Structure 1
Amino acid sequence: MPKITRLGWIAYAIAIATIVLDQVSKAWILSTLGADPGASQPLLGPLHLTMVHNQGMSFGLFRGSELSRWLLTAFSAAVVVGLAIWARKTTRWLMAGGLGLIIGGAFGNNLIDRIRYGYVVDFIDVTRLHFPWVFNVADSGITVGVALLLLDSFLSEEKTLAHPDGHGL
């Protein structure tokens, strides 16, 4: 089995930190608002805390039955395992950060929440800014993680195009 790179360990640490922050924030919101869907409390300007039971994927996509719950859980587990294997070999900072955030977000949302509650706990509500979804820390981790992977890909491709043989112009 290949050795885990230093940045692979950093990706795992970021994943764990994301899971902890996500689950602590959800425990806090459940103790603050309770578990009743629709309970809401203004926080700061357009930011409200609103309890939503998301039975679908990110941003409420693919809501459905008990079968959907377990299919999404299984799919998320496969994604987490695949990304964790990929993270073992990472040698670039942006990739390590992106993979860690996505792993942590997928694990927190789609594995822990779905097994524990049967739905994902969403509560960050900025719908007053015309953003139509209520989300959580794990969703944010996944979104920022994907952005970091795209940026890493773009920067790596740009470097390869500028110096395809590695020797410069």
Structure 2
Amino acid sequence: MKGYTKPLALIFIVLLIDQVSKIWVKLNMTLGQEFNILGHKLMIHFTENNGMAFGMEFGGEAGKLFLSLFRIVAVIGIGYGITYMIKNKYNRGFILNVALIFAGALGNILDSTFYGIFFSESSWYEPAKLFPAEGGYASIFHGKVVDMLYAPLFAGNYPSWIPFFGGQDFLFFRPVFNVADSAISIGVALILLYQKRYFKEEHLEKESINSEIIED
């Protein structure tokens, strides 16, 4: 288990926070309901989406099924990649970043795969119920992803000289997201930020191994 402890612990913690927050929101809030955490800069705002991260949509019911299955295949591939990297002693920071991406992807897969079976439909009038007597609101792979984090940090207007958008209002950050989305974004951002360090260390380590082989 050497090398697996930290990645597995990170995946477990992210999944636990993600699913606990989603289930609490699903069972205690109505669609559109919100309350402030840090004034108007960070809020809990309950919404659901049929598609990708940050509320983006993808092609109706057929697109939803394709996206759910694609996510599962992608997560299996990422999981295999993590195992390969641990066995081949890749940079630990890089492995943890990939583990964040894996946990985030898996968190949203749980929503789209099982929430339609386990919960009743959320509405603007009452929270959903867990394991309703009449059955869930959708079939397997057709559940909706729960989003609740909303951070409208600042608003303004695009300068008039910008093509197409000049003079229009903008809001950062407009999409509503969840813990799983955050984990994916942080993992990708850290890989991009530290990629030179990660792959430089990997290159130096391989050179050292090759030198030892040649000397022997």
With the length of structure 2 as denominator, give the TM-score of the two structures: 0.65
Please name the residue that 1:154 is paired with: 196
**Offset of residue 40 of structure 1:** 1.6
Please name the residue that 1:141 is paired with: 183
Mapped contact 2:51–2:57 kept (Cα < 8 A): yes
Which consecutive segments of 4 or more residues in structure 1 shift more than 6 A? 160-164
| Matched ranges for 1:44-83 at <5 A | 44-45=38-39, 46-83=41-78
* Mean Cα deviation higher: 151-160 or 87-96: 151-160
For residue 6 of structure 1, give the secondary structure of its aligned residue in structure 2.
Answer: coil
Of 6, 13, 18, 1:10 maps to: 6
**Offset of residue 121 of structure 1:** 0.3
Whose helix fraction is larger, Structure 1's or Structure 2's?
Answer: 1
- Compute the RMSD of aligned alpha carbons: 2.4
1:128–1:151 CA distance, 2 compared to 1 (3 A): closer
Structure with more relative contact order (C-alpha pairs < 8 Å, separation 6 or more): 1
CA distance in 1, matches of 2:207, 2:104: 37
Alignment coverage as a number of residue pairs: 160
1:155–1:125 CA distance, 2 compared to 1 (3 A): same
Letter in 2 for 1:74: L
CA distance in 2, matches of 1:127, 1:54: 19
Please name the residue that 2:22 is paired with: 26
Larger Rg: 2
Gaps of 5+ in 2: 117-142, 155-171, 212-216
With the length of structure 1 as denominator, give the TM-score of the two structures: 0.81
1:8–1:152 CA distance, 2 compared to 1 (3 A): farther
**Offset of residue 8 of structure 1:** 3.6
Please name the residue that 2:98 is paired with: 99
1:127 aligns to 2:155 (yes or no): no
